[in-house]
Amino acid sequence: MNHAGHHIDGAVRHQADRTAEVTDPATGRVIRRVALAGAADVGQAVRSARAAFPGWRDQPPAKRARILFRYKELLENNAGQIARTVTEEHGKVFDDALGEVGRGIEIVEYACGAPELLKGEHARNVGPAIDSWSEFQPLGVVAGITPFNFPAMVPLWMFPIAIACGNTFVLKPSEKDPSAALRLAALFTEAGLPDGVLNVVNGNHEAVDALLTCPDIDAVSFVGSTPVAEHVYRTGTAHGKRVQALGGAKNHAIVLPDADTGIATTALMGAAYGSCGERCMAISVAVCVGDDTAERLVATLTDRIADLKVGPGRDPDNDMGPLITAAHLQKVRSYLDIGVQEGAALVVDGRRFNGPAAGDGFFLGASLFDHVTPDMRIYREEIFGPVLCVVRADSLQAAVELINAHEYGNGACIFTRDGEAARYFTDTVKVGMAGVNVPLPVPAAVHSFGGWKRSLFGDLYAYGPDAVRFYTRRKTITQRWPARDARETSQFAFPSGA
């Protein structure tokens, strides 16, 4: 059995007092052990990053970009290998894992524009012979804490841009599927990244708390559940850090009577059941306007779910793999019990899944609830599994009000052929990311990703322009060069540009 260690100061470190099991979700078998970092390991990684910071900060952005370009090429050449690692440890189907890696590479490509992204702003003659300009300078050592559901993509949301901006980085990936992050770090070293600029420490809550309280870390980025995001935000800011913490979601899709039912069904199948529903942008609620709309959608979804192929992610014929762990499988199954107890109609029961892999690994079939109401736990809480709830509304306005009343505000979409309805939706829905006939409105790399309300703690989104601002400090410089023989008197009035 091999071991997943840490990547510190450009080298792999395997020593560990504590380890945890890494399981193949498709078989339930332990495939490796991962080192769990304590405060001492985190301290070693931070010291390495702190020592590397002055030299990396002083590198011209163009030189940083050249390393990022080489890194992008290495990622593209190794994308299949990284995706297979994701499938092995997370369980998602290979095509989904490959898509995840591809989206991460797009962020690296954006970070390659560091010379343009970091250009300041200049104003000449803001006062008599006085010029002023702003610069964007790196923070120092920054940390990222990333979730199990995107073990390659979410780390790539963070460290390429932070490093492009001149920071050094300590990454704490999920201990459930750590190998992809270690491979990402090794490839960056191969691309020419100096030792210590990127460090990876594996671990659990002990490592997280060490990062949050370490005085030598200047900022923390986090993606995960809302309770943990809130803890990260409060603890990090209490220790003087800049923090962005992306939390949970309950993403809605409004289906209007004029929507093409076939198109909506096709979109919802992928958005609700792709990656076994373990996505922060997964659609978990379909809000049908009118009973006729709901009846049509439930009927077509039921038919399509019957054809869904569930099994090991390494099999290219499968549409959906297993859940990440046995504990998470039981958690999602418990929500099916809760929904039935609360009075929702369980139209398709994923607990009855009897595919060829049903006896192996952490498999659950796709589930569909109808007649779900806002007071039910299956509506209010994030299930993070292959469960879609259908809620019925009387009007578009009522559907939007339903979304706006929810504690989460990550993403939402609408299916319609009515431009006026689409405009009303995008203008009034209280979410950070909205889609029109697009079920997963994940922004492209040149924009930024983030939600509203209790889906985001902090002011700046992930990747894109917001990330450049998060990982830098603005410094404004005002400069004047008086003539050598100038004779001046003291000015006691407050200065102005007049």
CATH code of the domain covering residue 336: 3.40.309.10
C-beta pairs of 30-33 under 8 Å, 24+ apart in sequence:
30/1, 31/1, 31/88, 31/89, 32/1, 32/2, 32/3, 32/4, 32/179, 33/1, 33/3, 33/4
Is 449 within the bounds of a domain? no
Q: Which of 264, 311, 316 is nearest to 91 (CA)?
A: 311
343 phi, psi to nearest 5 deg: 105, 5
Same domain, 38 and 129: yes
408 phi, psi to nearest 5 deg: -95, 150
439 burial type by CB count under 10 A (0-12 exposed, 13-18 middle, 19+ buried): buried
For residues 153 and 101, the answer to whether their CB atoms sit within 8 Å is yes
Is 491 within the bounds of a domain? no
Domain that holds residue 311: 251-436
Is 442 within the bounds of a domain? no
pLDDT of residue 439: 95
In whole angstroms, give the CA distance from residue 471 to residue 232: 17
Say whether 280 is catalytic. Answer: yes
Is 490 within the bounds of a domain? no
pLDDT of residue 3: 85
Tokens matching residue 348: 């398709």
Same domain, 32 and 179: yes
In whole angstroms, give the CA distance from residue 244 to residue 221: 5
Is 142 within the bounds of a domain? yes
Same domain, 277 and 205: no
In whole angstroms, give the CA distance from residue 15 to residue 6: 9
In whole angstroms, give the CA distance from residue 15 to residue 424: 57
Tokens matching residue 383: 């299930």
For residues 145 and 224, the answer to whether their CB atoms sit within 8 Å is yes
Same domain, 302 and 429: yes
Same domain, 263 and 158: no
Tokens matching residue 1: 């059995």
Give me the residues paired with residue 169 across strands. Answer: 142, 198
Same domain, 109 and 182: yes
Tokens matching residue 96: 């989904």
CA–CA distances in Å: residue 214 to residues 43, 175, 207: 8, 20, 10
Same domain, 255 and 118: no
pLDDT of residue 221: 98
SS3 390: strand
Q: Can you give 67-107 as a three-state secondary structure string? A: HHHHHHHHHHHCHHHHHHHHHHHHCCCHHHHHHHHHHHHHH
Tokens matching residue 57: 């900060």
CA–CA distances in Å: residue 345 to residues 215, 301, 370: 52, 14, 5
Catalytic residue among 112, 214, 280, 389: 280
Quote the distance between the C-alpha of residue 402 and its chain's center. Answer: 25
> Treating both helix axes as pointing N-terminal to C-terminal, what angle do 179-190 and 153-164 enclose, rounded to 10 degrees?
30
Give me the residues paired with residue 275 across strands. Answer: none
Q: Are strands 452-453 and 408-409 parallel, antiparallel or unpaired?
A: antiparallel
Q: For the chain, what is the domain count?
A: 2
Is 450 within the bounds of a domain? no
Q: What is the pLDDT along the chain (498 residues), one digit of tens a residue?
A: 588 899 999 988 877 789 999 999 999 999 999 999 999 999 999 999 999 999 999 999 999 999 999 999 999 999 999 999 999 999 999 999 999 999 999 999 999 999 999 998 999 988 888 899 999 999 999 999 999 999 999 999 999 999 999 999 999 999 999 999 999 999 999 999 999 999 999 999 999 999 999 999 999 999 999 999 999 999 999 999 999 999 999 999 999 999 999 999 999 999 999 999 999 999 999 999 999 999 999 999 999 999 999 999 999 999 999 999 999 999 999 999 999 999 999 999 999 877 666 567 999 999 999 999 999 999 999 999 999 999 999 999 999 999 999 999 999 999 999 999 999 999 999 999 999 999 999 999 999 999 999 999 999 999 999 999 999 999 999 999 888 877 777 778 777 766
